[in-house]
C-alpha cells in the first residue's frame, strides 16, 4: 500500500489518500506544541497498521519543525505509553 503524507494546513490535518479514502490525524497548534486530537482510519483501510504508520510519519514532521506532540487522542495516548523510545517527541 503506497501512501504519501499530505499536510492539509487549512483543515489542521495530516492525511493519507489511499484508494479513494482518507486516513487522517487532526491537530491544534498551541504554543509551539502540536496537540494531536483525533486519529481516523476509514473501515475500508482498517486492520493494516495504517494508524501507526500515519502517526509515525506525523511525529517525524513535528520533529522536523522543532515542535513537540501532545497526545489528546486515545489512540495516540496508547501509542505513547507503548513506545517509550518516542518520548523525546512528546511534550
Domains in the chain with CATH codes: 6-89 (3.40.630.30)
Question: Could you report the per-residue pLDDT of 56-84, keeping only the tens digit for each?
Answer: 999 999 999 999 999 999 999 999 999 99
HEC string for the chain = CCCCCEEEHHHCEEEEEECCEEEEEEEEEECCEEEEEEEECCHHHCCCCHHHHHHHHHHHHHHHCCCEEEECCHHHHHHHHHCHHHHHHEC
Question: Could you report the per-residue pLDDT of 4-48, keeping only the tens digit for each?
Answer: 999 999 999 999 999 999 999 999 999 889 999 999 999 999 999
Amino acid at each position: 500500500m503506497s501512501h504519501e503524507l499530505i499536510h492539509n494546513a487549512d483543515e489542521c490535518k495530516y492525511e493519507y489518500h489511499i484508494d479513494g479514502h482518507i486516513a487522517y490525524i487532526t491537530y491544534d497548534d498551541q504554543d509551539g506544541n502540536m496537540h494531536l486530537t483525533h486519529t481516523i482510519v476509514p473501515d475500508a483501510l482498517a486492520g493494516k497498521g495504517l494508524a501507526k504508520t500515519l502517526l509515525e510519519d506525523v511525529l517525524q514532521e513535528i520533529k522536523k519543525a522543532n515542535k513537540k506532540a501532545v497526545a489528546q487522542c486515545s489512540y495516540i495516548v496508547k501509542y505513547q505509553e507503548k513506545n517509550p523510545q518516542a518520548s523525546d517527541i512528546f511534550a
